[in-house]
Amino acid sequence: MWPCRTMIPEQNPTNLSGALPYPRKIFGRTRGKRLRPAQQRRLEEVLPRYVIKGVSLSENPQRLLLDLSELPGPPEGPLWLEIGFGAGEHLVAMAQAYPEVRLLGVEPFINGVASALGRLEEAGATNVALFPGDVRDLFDVLPDACLAKVFLNYPDPWPKKRHHKRRFVTSEYLVPLARVCAPQAEFRLASDVPSYIEQARKTVPAAGFELVWDSFAPWLDWPGTRYEVKALREGRKPHYLTFRRCGAHALEPGAMAQISLGRVSQR
């Protein structure tokens, strides 16, 4: 397995100079086909019950840290995060399987959010909070070392080499992810794109994580997703990685460059 390398900044990188990186550009779609009336109703009536307050720039221009005690679920329960929850199959399954856990879900694609709200309503999950936007905005306002587990299931592949810099497994995302992960926090990644897996094997350890699981076999509590079904149907082989967060230390010289795409060879 890959060795543990600790290369994390002493401060939140969004606040080093007092200048915030806004406006941020979101690559990929945020809206698909026209919403059905039931989906529109969920966004208007159900989403406010689940949405995390104080994440967006309009609600929190000073980027003050969230008070996690206000999140739904057991007050002392561990906090998990799913990045890009899609239609919510995995998010809802985890919420039902682990009622003692508090779950955060982030998804910028509004059609997916509407579908996930339907699943949450049906399941009656009470330990889930959602942010329908960019995960980088959430990273800005999460306290240090607050997450015990993070899921990244079938992220946007960005298969063209010139677009690899848009992937989650680059420094823009991994450095703040490492800041908000507690020591020994688990980071799970599922993908059917070989170059994505290869890139993650290099960049995630450079951000302060240790690779502890690298397999074509999923996790024991893996509920599956529609993207996995599609990949198998089309003859692609899903791959599953688990990383553990190392202890946080100051950023070593040149570490940001090492994590950046320009220093990671691609196949």
Residues classed as catalytic: 156
Tell me how far apart the alpha carbons of residues 176 and 114 are, in angstroms, rounded to a whole number: 27
Structure tokens that stand for 208 in this block: 């302060």
Spatial CA neighbour of 193 closest among 148, 147, 161: 161
* CA distance linking residue 81 with residue 147, whole number of Å: 7
Contact 21, 14 (CB under 8 A): yes
Query: How far is the C-alpha of 223 from the C-alpha of 238, rounded, in Å?
Result: 14
- 264 Cβ neighbours under 8 A, 6+ residues apart: 199, 202, 203
Distance CA 245, CA 254 (A): 20
Contact 14, 176 (CB under 8 A): yes
Instruction: Report how far residue 14's alpha carbon sits from residue 137's, in angstroms, rounded to the nearest whole number.
Output: 10
Q: Return the HEC string of 192-228.
A: CCHHHHHHHHHHHHHCCEEEEEEECCCCCCCCCCHHH
